[in-house]
Every structure is written in C-alpha cells, then in structure tokens.
Structure 1
Amino acid sequence: MKLKLFIIPFICILFFNCASRKIKDITYLTNTEKTNDNKPTLNVFEPKKTNTDKNAVVIFVHGGYWKDGDKKTYGFLGRNFAKNDIVTVIPGYTLSPNANYDLMAKQIARVVEWTKNNIDKYKGDPNQIYVMGHSAGGHLVALISTNPKYLKNKKDIKGVILNDAAGLDMKSYLEENPPTSKYHYDVTWTKNPKNWKDASPIYFINDETPPFLIYVGSKTYPSIMTSNTAFVEALKPYQPKLEKIVLDKKHVPMMSHYFFPWVKRYDEIVNFINKTKI
C-alpha cells in the first residue's frame, strides 16, 4: 500500500507532462524596470493536444507571506490546466524585503500586459485572460483587478479566481495589528496608513470589477476568513451570482490539493471560465 501511494503521484506527473509543453524563465519586465537584483521571470505551460490556438489563459500567482515562494513549485498546476486545454502563466515576482506590495502588484500587472501581447504564441487567447492566486498571490491578483492604478485596461482580465486569499482588507487588519519587522510587514505595507488602504482590494470594488470565483478554507486563518467574508459582502451588490466555495481545509491544503488532476476544482474553474467568456 505504501509503495502504491508513493508511485501514484509520479505516474500522474509523467502522464500529464505529456499534455503540456513548458517554456521557462521568460523575462516580462521592460529594460527600464530591471535592476541587478530585480529580474523576475515567468513560466508558460502550453497544452500539446488542444484543437485550437485560442485557448483560455490562467495567470497563477503564488503565495508566501509576500516574502517567500517560488514559481517553480507550481508546475503541477500548469500541467493539470493543460489537460483542460488552458494555457497557464506562472510568474515569479520580487519578494519582501526587496519590494513592497506596490512593486509586487506593478510586476503582476506587467505579467498581464506581457500575456496580452504574447500569449498567442503559446496557443492562448489574449482576449480570455484570467488571474488566480493563493494567499498573498490572491491579494495581488485581486489588487490589480480592482485598484485602477495598476492596469491600463482592467477589461483585459475576464475573471479572478481567489484561493484562500490573504490581504483583501489590509487597512482594517493593520489598524489593529500595526506592521512590524515580523514577516517584513513594515517593508511590505510600509508604516503609512494611506498605503494600507491603497493596498486593500475591498476599497476599489465597483460595477467594472471583473467576475470573481472565491474559495475559502473553513479551517484557514481567522484573518483570511474575516477579510474574505467582508470582501464577498462588498462584491455581492455588483455580482449577485458571485460563486463562493467553502472547503473543509486549512490554508496550505487549499493549494496543495491542486496537485491531483482529478480534484473538482479544475472542473469548477473551467465552468467559471465558460460562464464568463465573451
């Protein structure tokens, strides 16, 4: 039994590697945005056996308290999406303390722009771009999808998928828990309360906000549960058919269960994409 449990994940990897082509470490910043310490890149997972060159695209942004994480960890997501004829873009971004929330969000916005301009080379439809993020990554994709300062055209994003997203209302959180050097929060959010509101997606929701699909773990951190509940309440007047799915999971398993290609999440995301296609 133990041997079978050990072998099954590797069989999955081998099988689903055949479904995708990985193009790694593509630079997405312009020359003026690069520095010696600031060279994040992205990976693309292109479906091999798709019948069209106009596939939907998911940009996935990893979490890690805005200070940790690596795009290389999430290849399983790209492979599994490829099985569903979805092109996947998985970017790296500069982490704290070398960047604050604003620089991170600007970089993720550049990923969207790069995808819009280049994804047709990888069988992706530039008019069907969706953004997805877990934890801190959920905050960043929500922020660029709501705060108008990040994207020239918010309509470039057709939908947003939040997976146990953190930081949706940093203003309220930091007013009660002022930032310190723990997790580099004093750098990530700064000590200026004006920036806390600027960093909080909940304050920028309006009738132009793209459709959201929201997952929350019933055993997640209280701050994530609280901010997601408030975010959904704020979004409901504009999106009365908002889909919020609560899973019986803790914070990390909310992401790790995507490793298995048969989990229901992939079908739910495909259905969300199909519903929001133009």
Structure 2
Amino acid sequence: MIEDFNELSPIYREKYRLTVLPKWRKKLVILKMILLEVIFLIQVTFRTIKSILYYFFTHKKGYLVKDIKYGPNDRNHCDIYIPSSSNYLLNNKKDLPVVIFMHGGSWGFGHKLQYILLGKKLSERGIVTMVINYRLTPKGNIDDMLEDIDTATSFCYENIENYGGDKNKIYLMGHSAGGHIISQYVVVNYSKPIDNEQKNKKRVPLSGIFPLSAPLHINDHFLFETKRGVEHISPMRPAMKGPKYFDEYSPSAVLEKIKDKSIRDEKLSTPFPSFYILHGVDDATVPLSSSTKFFSILMRKLANPTARTLFLKAYPKIKHIDFIFNVCDDNLIIERNIFNGIEDDDNNNAESILNDIINIIKY
C-alpha cells in the first residue's frame, strides 16, 4: 500500500484497502507496461519522423514560431502554429480563433514536441494553435501547473494578435492530465465573482474549454489507478500534494460544493466558458465515467445549460492514446453543425473527432 494512504478520506481509504493489489501482481503490471511501451515506441516511429520533418524542415517559413517564452520558469515555452492560408504576415489579420493546448502525461511527463502534428492539423483548419510546455512533478506540483496555464493564457491574450489570432476567441484544450488542469483552472477561477483580493487581476475571456479524455475526480481516479496496479508509481499522487488534497484539486469535487444553478454569467465579471467534453468509450487509462460524472454535476450548477455551453460526446472504439492520435491524423472535414446532431453514422467514429472540434470552434 502507499505510505500515505491514511490521508485518504475514510470512505476512499476503505475502498483502497479492498482494491489494492498484492506486490507480485504490481510487479507483473510494471513488466507489462515496459513491454507495451516498447511496442508503442515502435508503432510511432513513422509518426515521429513525420513530426520531425515538419517541425525542422517542411513547415512554411513564418507560420511556425518556436520556443516562445511565455513565462519566467524553465518550462514556460510554447510553439505557435499559424494557418498559412490566412496570409497574416501580408494582410495583418487578427481574426482567427485560438487554441491553447496543454499536453497530458500523468502530470509528470510530456513535451510540446510530441504534439507537432496536432498543431499542424489545427492550423491547417484555420486555427492559431499555441502548444505549451509547463512544469511537471517532481520539480513542480499542481499549483505550479495551474499557475503556468494562467500565465500562458494571459500571455496569449496580450500577444496572440501578433500571430493573427483573435484574443476574444481563445479556447483551452488539454488531453488527459492537461484536460484535468485546464478544467480545475476554469472551475476555480471562473465560477464565482471576483473578490477584493482578485479584483486587480483581470480574467482572460475564454470562449470554451475542451477536456479530452480527462481525469476530473482525483479520488475516483486514484481508485481506478489502484485497480490497474499503478497507484504506487503514478505521478498523480505527489503532483496533487498527497491524498488529503485530492478533493481540493478535483474539478468535480470543487463543483459539488457550489450551489445548484448558481453559475450565472450576469453575476460574473467574465462569463463562465463553455465546456466541450470529449472522451473515448474504450479508454482503459481514464474511464468515460470521469467525463460523464463531471458533465452531470456541471449540468446542475449552470443556471441555463444548453448544448452551446455544455456538451459531452463519447466516441466508440476509441482508447486513451488513440484519441489524440486521431485528432492528429484526421483529414476529413465536413462543414456541419455538431449541435444539430449526427445524421450520418459513418461520421460518428474516430475520424470525426477533429471534425467535431473544428465545427465547435468555427461554426
């Protein structure tokens, strides 16, 4: 068992006792993970080569700006992918929608260079895309990560017009742990009026949030990791500063403490952003229940939820890593309004993920 399991709340402590695997099974889990990682690295070889060629050689000059410093810390760097079709360098346009993307990696791994193809694909569809690095455990914890997304968002608002983006059309997008961080950031900072301590800091207006396959209740996810036999090696526990803080850094748990129907834009100095929650049905790393639980709670807290302010979609036959790969690989764009429903079953699959994201942002 983990050494600090007594910090869990009583109900989760007992569930943990009943769920934890013996040491020998955990050793088998680690061996399996190593084998799967080797297989994974072999499978992504072509994708890696394609990414490197684009990033260093084949991108259109002036439309990929690398290693921009957005904050004071070592990992506060980002790449900005700019649609070449916009000709912003010639036309000085500043009207394109913007996505700030926060990578996953269990709060302890990951780098912006893993998402070159995501930046490329979104920019090819007319979206200025800012892919960021941020502090990771053990050098940083969840407070540092939340500070980094706040700094990146402020930097984007103040500077994105220099890259053709519209500062009033900013979306946050995060996969896995990145989805958790952006959701926690928004739920804590945008759900209530600014108090006296905050009034000197203006909130950046956000058009929407995309948590992709995100763990949104940390206590629940800890038990899920326990069932998988990885809770003792997962960076999540130290990243959240230990089990006693799990609820404090769970977007679902934070929302539960808010009065029903109390999130009202007319009472907020900056409107509460729309949430577009996307998840794979076959995700064995972060279960779909994480997103459905958050969705149902947020539905109760919003004063007037609509499909444009709160949206959930589950994609059949999509696993955790498959999700982000399909966003990078999809070449099919059909101009349709996702909020009118899915009429063509052929589009309701992996190939429609990027299509859905584009339609939400642009139409």
How does the TM-score come out when normalised to structure 2?
0.64
Q: Which residue of 1 aligns with 2:67?
A: 25
| Correspondence for 2:140 among 99, 108, 115 | 99
When the two chains are superposed, the root-mean-square deviation of aligned CA atoms in Å is 3.0
Q: Distance in 2 between matches of 1:264 and 1:192?
A: 37
SS of 1:259's partner is: helix
Matched AA of 1:233: S
* 1:216 CA drift (Å): 1.0
CA displacement, residues 18-61 of structure 1 (integer Å, 9 cap, x when unaligned): 4981111111114xxx3xxx343111011122164210000111
Q: Which residue of 2 aligns with 1:260?
A: 329
* 1:220 CA drift (Å): 0.8
Q: Distance in 1 between matches of 2:62 and 2:329?
A: 16
| Correspondence for 2:357 among 265, 269, 272 | 269
Bigger Cα displacement from structure 2, 73-82 vs 260-269:
260-269
Rg larger for = 2
Matched AA of 2:212: N
Bigger Cα displacement from structure 2, 83-92 vs 220-229:
220-229
Bigger Cα displacement from structure 2, 216-225 vs 144-153:
144-153
Q: Distance in 2 between matches of 1:78 and 1:217?
A: 21
Structure 2: 5+ residue runs without aligned partners?
1-45, 88-92, 192-197, 256-262, 266-271, 332-350
Matched AA of 2:297: A
Correspondence 1:211 to 2:274 = yes
Correspondence 1:229 to 2:292 = yes
Q: Which residue of 2 aligns with 1:202?
A: 252
* 1:10 CA drift (Å): 5.0
Q: Distance in 2 between matches of 1:40 and 1:117?
A: 16
SS of 1:140's partner is: helix
* 1:221 CA drift (Å): 2.7
Q: Which residue of 2 aligns with 1:169?
A: 217
CA contact (8 A) 1:127 1:156 kept: yes
* 1:182 CA drift (Å): 1.6
Q: In structure 2, do the counterparts of structure 1 residues 218 and 39 end up closer, same or farther at CA, with 3 Å as the change threshold?
A: closer
* 1:204 CA drift (Å): 4.1
Paired positions, count: 260
Matched AA of 1:187: P
* 1:17 CA drift (Å): 3.5
Q: Which residue of 2 aligns with 1:142?
A: 183
Q: In structure 2, do the counterparts of structure 1 residues 19 and 165 end up closer, same or farther at CA, with 3 Å as the change threshold?
A: farther
CA contact (8 A) 1:22 1:45 kept: yes
Q: Which residue of 2 aligns with 1:3?
A: none
Structure 1: 5+ residue runs without aligned partners?
1-5
* 1:185 CA drift (Å): 3.3
Q: Distance in 2 between matches of 1:260 and 1:235?
A: 31
Q: Which residue of 2 aligns with 1:43?
A: 79
